A and B are shown apart, each in its own frame.
Chain A
């Protein structure tokens, strides 16, 4: 007996296995970042000042420490990549594999762009001695954005695989391939969404 509903949706649930699986996985991811957001609130509420003392200087707003314009650019980059991954799926739906390649390529590229900007931000902090151990604001900033960056890298590996070797499946089993791109897209949107919460929480308010 074969495993059913790997590609087509089960009639009474309306989804196939992979899609349900990724939704469940994302639910657990929400709890993971939810735990960190709660930790952030807990630490912040418990501090007399936020961000507080760093290397002898008392800060009262995160934007004095973090580079808001860069992070804003990064937000745009990620949102754009969420659009391109949808377009890559749409290209497959229209049977246009070439276009798929272009849009998926752009998605991966945007991932790189995001990481480069993030790396610029990080190295700026490091070079000024703003290390995680200095202060809990910096600590939670590095943990949350670092964990998010790991998720970006994970997504880029998946997307890169479907751009390169994984794309062979388009020839052998196009329906399944489309389902995979859809699932990869769901994950990528999630990574985007986490950033959309992270950005205002950490940088702005």
Chain B
């Protein structure tokens, strides 16, 4: 980078392509990540809305748009089981790997972290650009697999063999796509860690870093260390599929009444171990940045320091470590011995402690505050009980005796959707409303934001709460007819209609957001000053809104105090910026 001049006032012209497409500026890359991942969230959500039709009205033709689909997927608008499975597998994959993680880490992390620590950019700008484009290609590979003759992957986002080993070509595409996504997140993780460790501005000691930065730091460690084993597993599965090895195929496997012609001797459990070694830390990748966003917004809108900032930081670090030794709680029914299962039950109970501490600290931060009910704050406030419910419903799953009947039921689906949808997604929306003026210099419209908030928060509960009830009644997940053909499910399947309607209502309530998002770019209320929320952290106090071009700051800001010095007695305003002596 040393051969360019990155002074914000230099008038050298960068070409459009260099500036907006192959940019190395973390802010542009952050926005690229943001727009792409929002689009993927919408796509993943649309797949689910299609599935919800089949679940609510099994076997009935989908009106209006049903005729747009091909004969192999929805002849006469009636969804085929194979297509339902594709939608399910790709919904999960897209939401997790192409929606939430890139939005939480790629977009928010990229845009906000360097600004919050007073850095001119990420440590490796070219790697940063590469990471976005590798992610983009991975996304295209995933999406394009829908147009294969036999369609996209059908073995679930968990891709369990033996099914995934003998599946149609969509699964091969899925594996290639994942290798791209893993590579991208690896490049990102190295970059975030180096940036946070090396590029902190003078005075920005570790204990002065905003909680959001801590959350991103731990998240990056998880991405760095948990993803590679899945990459290894992906390579092994590719070999099984393309070269004919039997890493995940046991001897004597019978498929459709015929003995499978492979050497055998492998183990499907091997995949499960390697997969969950990634995928449990991955759930913390989904939640930690959300906690970070909520912490920023809670501090800002309570006008008080966070309650127990240090304890929160210790908790998040502890969470990071622990998340590597709980993975087999996803595998209690695989017949592991009692000693092993005991170990994983204990670690799972231990890991819930730091989550509870962080959540409690955020709740306690509200105590005695005069809250500002801005739109970001509403989303952040809703996150707290919703994530709480998600976490609480996880406890019975973490104990083998209760997990064995609940495993693979709708209850599990309800549990993790509470954590990721009304949990993480609401927090991500909070972040968008909070930092939108940072990136654009204009506010999002508040009334529209409030409509978006109430509509989303309420309808989400009508989607996910009934899942818990259905699961407790024993309804399995991944059923093509939502349980209609099972005797015991008859009492609870009427919820399917409620849930589907709520899902479509949720879809409708995203329209005000989409409109608001684009309309405000040009027509939104201009910010009155660079720090419209009266915040204390550097991204608001040390640079303009929107920030300077490449390089962010005229000179590196100097940091004199902790991140949340709100309502300091004796100070003339109720916020004391980090860069004020």
Contacts and interface: CB of A to CB of B under 8 A. Distances in A.
Interface residues of B, number: 53
Interface in A33-67: 33-36, 38-39, 42-43, 46-47, 52
Nearest to B245: A139
Interface of A: 1-6, 10, 13, 15-17, 20-21, 24-25, 27-29, 31-36, 38-39, 42-43, 46-47, 52, 131-136, 139-140, 143, 147
Contact of B231 (A5, A20, A32, A42): A32
Contacts of B186: 25, 28
B265 interface: yes
Interface of B: 1-2, 6-7, 119-121, 123-125, 186, 189-191, 193-194, 197-199, 224-233, 235-236, 239, 243-247, 262-263, 265-267, 269-270, 273-274, 277, 551-556
22 contacts: A1-B7, A1-B553, A2-B1, A3-B121, A4-B198, A5-B198, A15-B198, A17-B124, A20-B198, A24-B189, A24-B193, A25-B186, A29-B228, A33-B232, A34-B228, A35-B228, A42-B269, A42-B270, A42-B273, A47-B265, A139-B247, A140-B247
A1 B120 contact: yes
Max chain B CB contacts within 10 Å: which of A10, A25, A28, A136? A28
A85 to B, nearest CB: 22
A5 B270 CA distance: 43
B190 to A, nearest CB: 5
A17 B225 contact: no
B555 A1 contact: yes
Given A42-B267, A134-B263, 8 more contacts: A3-B123, A31-B226, A35-B277, A39-B236, A135-B263, A139-B239, A139-B245, A143-B236
Nearest to A31: B228
A139 B552 CA distance: 51
A52 B265 contact: yes
Given A2-B120, A35-B233, A46-B267, A132 B198 contact: no
Contacts of B554: 1
B228 A32 contact: yes
Contacts of A6: 1-2
Q: How would you classify the secondary structure of chain A's contact residues: helix, strand, loop or mixed?
A: helix
Given A3-B121, A24-B193, A135-B263, A39 B247 contact: yes
Contacts of A32: 228-229, 231-232
Nearest to A1: B120
A135 B262 CA distance: 9
A1 B245 contact: no
A13 B197 CA distance: 8
Contacts of B199: 3-5, 17
Given A39-B236, A47-B265, A135-B263, A31 B552 contact: no
Nearest to B264: A136
Contacts of B236: 36, 39, 143
Contacts of A4: 120, 198-199, 556
B7 to A, nearest CB: 8
